[in-house]
A and B are shown apart, each in its own frame.
Chain A
Amino acid sequence: MTDARPPALLAVRALHRSGLEPASFEIAAGETVALLGPSGAGKTLLLRAIADLDPNLGEVFLAGDSRAAMAAPEWRRRVGYLPSEPGWWAERAGAHFADPGAARALLAPLWLPADILDKPVARLSTGERQRLALIRLLVNAPRVLLLDEPTASLDARATAAAEALLDDRRKAGAALLIVSHDEAQIRRVAGRRLLIDSGRVTEGAP
C-alpha cells in the first residue's frame, strides 16, 4: 500500500470478545476518528476492550508497544477511557482528583464554577459531572482518548468548549476515538469514521 497516512499511535489487531468480531484498525497521532453505529452495536464493548476492562483477545499497540507487555494500570493511564456514565467513589467532587490544582486550571475553559470541586457529587447536574469526568481523564494526560458520548448531556456552549479542549489535545499529538450520535459534531471534529454494526467494525466513508 502506498497510503500517505502517518504511522499509527494506536494499532488494533484482531481485537475480539463475545459480541465483538475481530476488529483491526489504526489511529494516528493527531487524528480524531468517530465511531458510529446503532445502539447495542458494540461501540462501548469496543472501547472497553481497547481499555482492557473486559476479557478480550487480539493485540493492541501504543506507538508500537504491545499492550500485553504493559501492566494494565499503566496501559489505562496512557489509553484513557471515558465511559458515557462515569462513576464517582467519593462524596466530594474534589476528592476524585489526585492533583486538584491541575483540575482547577481546566474548570473555566469548560464553563464550570471555580468552587465546584468543594461540592458533593450528588448535588451536581449530569452535564457538570460529565465535564468533571472529562477533566479527571485529561489531567492524566493520556496519549489516546477513548470517549463514549463525551458531550451527550452538554449544552451548545459547553459542547463547543469540550470540543475545543479535545482539539487542543489532538493538535498536541493525541489520538482520539469518539462515539457520537451527533452528525454535525462528527463533521466538526472527526477526520475519519469507523462504523460498527452487530459487533463488526468497518472503515466508513470520509
Chain B
Amino acid sequence: MTLIPLDLVDLALAATLILLNAALSIWLRLGLARQILIAALRMGIQLWLLGLVLAYLFELTSPALTGAAALVMIGFAGFEVFSRQSRPIRGLWTYGLGTGTMLLAGGLVTVFALTALVAPAPWYDPRFALPLLGMVLGNTMTGIALGLDSLSGLAVRERAAIEARLCLGATRAAALRPVLRDAARTGMIPIVNSMAATGLVAIPGMMTGQILAGAAPMEAIKYQLLIMCLIAGGTSLGVFLSVVGMAAFLSDSRHRLRLDRLRPAKPAPDAPG
C-alpha cells in the first residue's frame, strides 16, 4: 500500500466540516464563528507556508539551511519556555537558559538519532532531521518549562526552609537539593505518563501518519518506540540541565539564596480577581 494523494476537492469537502462548526456557533450564539474561521484560515496559511519551506529545504538538502531551520525552531521553543514562566529570572537569562538547554539536549539527541540510529544519507537530510528535532523539541520544551516554573515557585515558597539550612552551614547545593528534586520530577512526569499511556489511550500521531502513508504497523511502531526513547532522553537531559542551571542563578558563590534575581510573579491568567 502506498500514500493516497489528496486533491483540492478532498480538502474543500473536509473544510465544509469547519463551516458546519461555524454555522453551529452562529445558530447557538456561541460567538465563536469569527474566531473559528480566522483560526482555520491561519492554520491553512501556516501549513501551506510550512509545506513550501519544507519542500524547498528537502529539495536543497543543504546542511547550512537545515541547521538554520533547526536554530529557528529551537529559538521559538526557547521563547515558548520563557513565556510559560510565572517568575522568570531577571534579564534575558531565562530565555538563554531555556534555549541553551534545548539546543544542547534536543540537538544532542537528534544528532545521535540521525548519525547512529536512523542514519539517512546524508545524515543531516532535512526530511529526517527536522521532523525528528520537532518532535524531540516539542516534548523537551514542555519538560523544561514545567521544571523551571516549578523550581522558581518552590524556591519562593520554601525560602525559610532553604535559608534555615544555609544558616546552619549547608552549601547551596545541599540546601537547594529538595526543591531541585521536586522541580525535576515535575518536569519529567508528563513524559513518563505519556510513555505509560502510549498505545492504550491513543494511537500516537506520528504512527498514525506513517500507517496512513502506507507503512506496515510493526514498522510504524518501531519508529514510534524510537521517537519515544529520543523524547524521553531529550526531556530528561533538558530538565536536568535547566533546573541545575536555574539553581545556579538562584544562588551565588557566597551560598546565598538570590530570590532578588527573579522577576515578580505574573498573575496566573485564570486566577480569580
Give chain A's interface residues, CB within 8 Å of chain B: 51-55, 71-74, 76-77, 80-83, 85-89, 96, 133, 136-137, 140
Contacts and interface: CB of A to CB of B under 8 A. Distances in A.
Contact of A137 (B165, B166, B168): B168
B210 interface: no
Contact of A76 (B158, B161, B168, B258): B168
A87 B171 contact: no
B169 A86 contact: no
B168 A136 contact: yes
Considering residues A74, A80, A83, A89, which has the most beta carbons from chain B within 10 angstroms of its beta carbon? Answer: A89
Number of chain B interface residues as a range: 20 to 34
A81 B162 contact: no
A82 B164 CA distance: 8
Contact of A87 (B160, B254, B256, B260): B160
Given A53-B167, A81-B167, A87 B255 contact: no
Nearest to A88: B161
19 contacts: A51-B167, A52-B254, A55-B252, A71-B255, A72-B254, A72-B255, A76-B168, A76-B255, A77-B169, A83-B160, A83-B164, A86-B160, A87-B160, A87-B164, A88-B164, A89-B158, A89-B161, A89-B164, A137-B168
A99 to B, nearest CB: 12
Contacts of B171: 73
Contacts of B159: 87
Given A52-B254, A53-B256, A86 B168 contact: no
Interface string B173-217: 000001000000000000000000000000000000000000000
A140 B168 CA distance: 7
A54 B163 CA distance: 11
A73 B256 CA distance: 10
A37 to B, nearest CB: 22
Nearest to A55: B256
A83 to B, nearest CB: 7
B170 interface: yes
A82 B166 CA distance: 11
A39 B178 CA distance: 33
Given A54-B256, A76-B167, 20 more contacts: A52-B254, A53-B163, A53-B257, A55-B258, A55-B260, A72-B254, A72-B256, A76-B166, A77-B168, A83-B163, A83-B164, A83-B167, A85-B160, A87-B159, A87-B162, A87-B165, A88-B160, A88-B161, A89-B161, A89-B164
Contacts of B260: 55
B154 to A, nearest CB: 12
Contact of B170 (A73, A81, A86): A73
Contacts of B160: 83, 85-88
Interface in B5-61: none
Nearest to B159: A87
Interface in B119-171: 158-171
Contacts of B167: 51, 53, 76, 80-83, 137
Considering residues A74, A76, A85, which has the most beta carbons from chain B within 10 angstroms of its beta carbon? Answer: A76
B177 to A, nearest CB: 9
A103 B150 CA distance: 34
Nearest to B252: A55
Considering residues B169, B178, B260, which has the most beta carbons from chain A within 10 angstroms of its beta carbon? Answer: B169
Contacts of A54: 256
B168 A87 contact: no
Contacts of A71: 255
Given A73-B171, A86-B160, A87-B159, A52 B256 contact: yes
B165 A89 contact: yes
